Amino acid sequence: MTDTTNTQAESAEQQNGSGDINSAAAIAANKTPATSGEVKIHCVDVDVFYGETQAIKKVSIDIEDKAVTAFIGPSGCGKSTFLRCLNRMNDTIDICRVTGQIVLDGGDIYDTDVDPVQLRARVGMVFQKPNPFPKSIYENVSYGPKIHGLASSKAELDSIVEQSLKRAALWDEVKDRLDSPGTGLSGGQQQRLCIARAVATAPEVLLMDEPCSALDPIATAQVEELIDELRQSYSVVIVTHSMQQAARVSQKTAFFHLGLMLEYDDTGKIFTAPSHEKTQQYITGRFG
């Protein structure tokens, strides 16, 4: 990754000539590692209603592949609600109604022939509070691949478990006690176990709803490091209350306010020169 960034910086410099004021823009653009630019989830005019109350109003957003997109906004702005639309978690709420289009790789996920369970294997989710199953570490990770029939043998399942735990940067800490209960791990380890569980079904998109708010700073840093690695293979969407976390881990940031998405741009732009006044007031700590 570093290599690519350097090459880009050099070529940008060659184009602009060093000392040129434009190179400042090139450097700023380079600060955020380049995203693929490919759209993974295409959302058009998404409305969400809880009974009569409209929680999301006409949100249109293109979520990129192999990038981390952060949703920020004050409590009750609809960011979690919108996140939960992306793998149809809102289906479980009776009074919740979603309209508009959410297209994952060309297919509308709200089409009647889409099986939400299969969809959630493709669009995994990690929640605020680590919620491992009251089972062994091994079973926590193997459960998904098993029910989705992703492994044909015990050896294959073992390998998925190992790979997933490695991806979640947890393997070294638990490899000698895979049979001990997942609930016996520390908070940070439990959260990484949940991430391992989410990546075990080989999802394409990973949704994270405040994945670090129950963790201490060190565990948070480990999860953030992990998010950055997961970005190489997945599209990651994270809802966070910590604006600094959004600034640290994401390449794109969307700002939600009262059910509207007011601004969506490169994270570097949002945190240095946001376009919308409300974004500015929120991220600088003037309301929320």
Partner 1 sequence: MEAPAGVRFGRDAEGMQEGGPRHIVTAFDLELRDITARISEMGGIAEEQLGNALEAVRLRDNALAREVIAADKRLDQLEMRLEEAAIQTLALRQPVAQDLRQVVSALKIASTLERIGDLAKNIAKRAQVLNEGQPLKVQGSILRMGRQTQAAFTEVLDAYTARDTELAQRVWRRDVEVDEMYNSLFRELITYMMEDPRVIGLCSQLLFVAKNLERIGDHATFIAEMTYFVVEGKPLGDERPKGNAFGELPDFD
Among 5, 131, 163, 280, indicate the residue that binds partner 1 (CB under 8 A).
Answer: 280
281 binds partner 1 per the rule CB under 8 A:
yes
Identify the bridge partners of residue 44 per DSSP, sorted by sequence position.
101
How many binding residues for partner 1 (CB under 8 A)?
23
Using only C-alpha atoms, what is the Rg of the chain?
20
Angle ∠(175,155,184) on CA atoms, nearest 5: 30
287 binds partner 1 per the rule CB under 8 A:
yes
Strands 96-104 and 39-50 come out as antiparallel
| Least distance CB 72 / partner 1 (angstroms) | 11
- Picking from 197, 126, 132, the residue whose alpha carbon sits closest to that of residue 168 is 197
Among 4, 10, 11, 24, indicate the residue that binds partner 1 (CB under 8 A).
Answer: 24
- Picking from 99, 127, 283, the residue whose alpha carbon sits closest to that of residue 211 is 127
244 binds partner 1 per the rule CB under 8 A:
yes
CA distance 172 to 162: 10
CA distance 267 to 150: 36
Helix ranges restricted to H, the chain = 2-16, 22-31, 79-85, 116-122, 137-147, 154-167, 171-174, 187-200, 217-230, 243-249, 267-272, 277-283
Please identify, among the stretches 88-96, 138-146, 186-194, 241-249, the one whose residues bind partner 1 according to the rule CB under 8 A: 241-249
Among 17, 21, 52, 94, indicate the residue that binds partner 1 (CB under 8 A).
Answer: 21
By beta-carbon proximity to partner 1, the closer residue of 205 and 246 is 246
218 binds partner 1 per the rule CB under 8 A:
no
147 binds partner 1 per the rule CB under 8 A:
no
Please identify, among the stretches 164-172, 176-184, 190-198, 269-277, the one whose residues bind partner 1 according to the rule CB under 8 A: 269-277
By beta-carbon proximity to partner 1, the closer residue of 45 and 216 is 216
By beta-carbon proximity to partner 1, the closer residue of 97 and 269 is 269
Location of structure tokens 């390449």:
251
15 binds partner 1 per the rule CB under 8 A:
no
286 binds partner 1 per the rule CB under 8 A:
yes
By beta-carbon proximity to partner 1, the closer residue of 216 and 277 is 277
271 binds partner 1 per the rule CB under 8 A:
yes
How many angstroms separate the Cα of 34 from the Cα of each of 99, 162, 278? 32, 30, 27
247 binds partner 1 per the rule CB under 8 A:
yes
Half-sphere CA count of 267, side-chain side, radius 13 A: 24
Among 30, 243, 249, 253, indicate the residue that binds partner 1 (CB under 8 A).
Answer: 243
Strands 205-209 and 123-126 come out as parallel
| Least distance CB 55 / partner 1 (angstroms) | 24
CA distance 227 to 260: 26
216 binds partner 1 per the rule CB under 8 A:
no
71 binds partner 1 per the rule CB under 8 A:
no
Among 4, 6, 20, 159, indicate the residue that binds partner 1 (CB under 8 A).
Answer: 20
Angle ∠(223,225,230) on CA atoms, nearest 5: 90
Q: Which residues bind partner 1 (CB under 8 A)?
A: 20-22, 24-25, 243-244, 247, 270-274, 277, 279-281, 283-288
